[in-house]
Structure 1
Amino acid sequence: MEKSLNNNFGYISFYLLWVGLCLILGIMISILSIGSSSEVPFILWTYATIGLVCGTFLISLSNIFFFKEWTKRFWYVNGFITLVTVGVIAYYDVKMITL
């Protein structure tokens, strides 16, 4: 039981590591922009969010190819993350095209 938990956490840890790095970046942006009255913090938060969504999508795609056994067993986790990130990317692509 313990061995399978460690294996599953190993695959999910890519997601957790990426989300953690993006959150740390967002916190650093907030701390460094205290007292700033320009739009720079908003723009940097936007870039951090875009990086979070695109990075999560790339991790879900790479899990399909590199961790086939895990993806077959837990297809609903990887599929849900892939569909949500594709939906967000497609939504903003359509919004940008129709500007």
Structure 2
Amino acid sequence: MIATALLLLQAAAPPADIELRAHVFVREGQVASRGEARLQVRAEPDGGGTVETRRQPEARGQTRLRQATIDVHAEARIADPRQSGEQQETGTSDPR
């Protein structure tokens, strides 16, 4: 039953207008300073977006990583301007 619900939810979501997939293998990397890394995806008008990341192994505060794999999947959707009350620009010139 859970699998059926997941399939229905996936079918109901509109396809992404913008999609980014990255698979990165880091042989050796070093973090020079403390901080935060962040990835965001956004479209105007905003129709929603998601970012999923997987790292192996987890950093857990280490400053040096070896043999690390990072996978990123990001999606953004452009909202329909007619549904948000905005007028869609046509980009046409004045016919006069």
Same-fold status (TM-score > 0.5):
no
Higher helix share: 1
TM bin (shorter chain): under 0.3
| TM-score for both structures, normalised by structure 2 | 0.23
Structure showing greater radius of gyration is 2
| TM-score for both structures, normalised by structure 1 | 0.22
Bigger relative contact order, structure 1 or 2 (CA pairs below 8 A, ≥6 apart)? 2
Higher strand share: 2
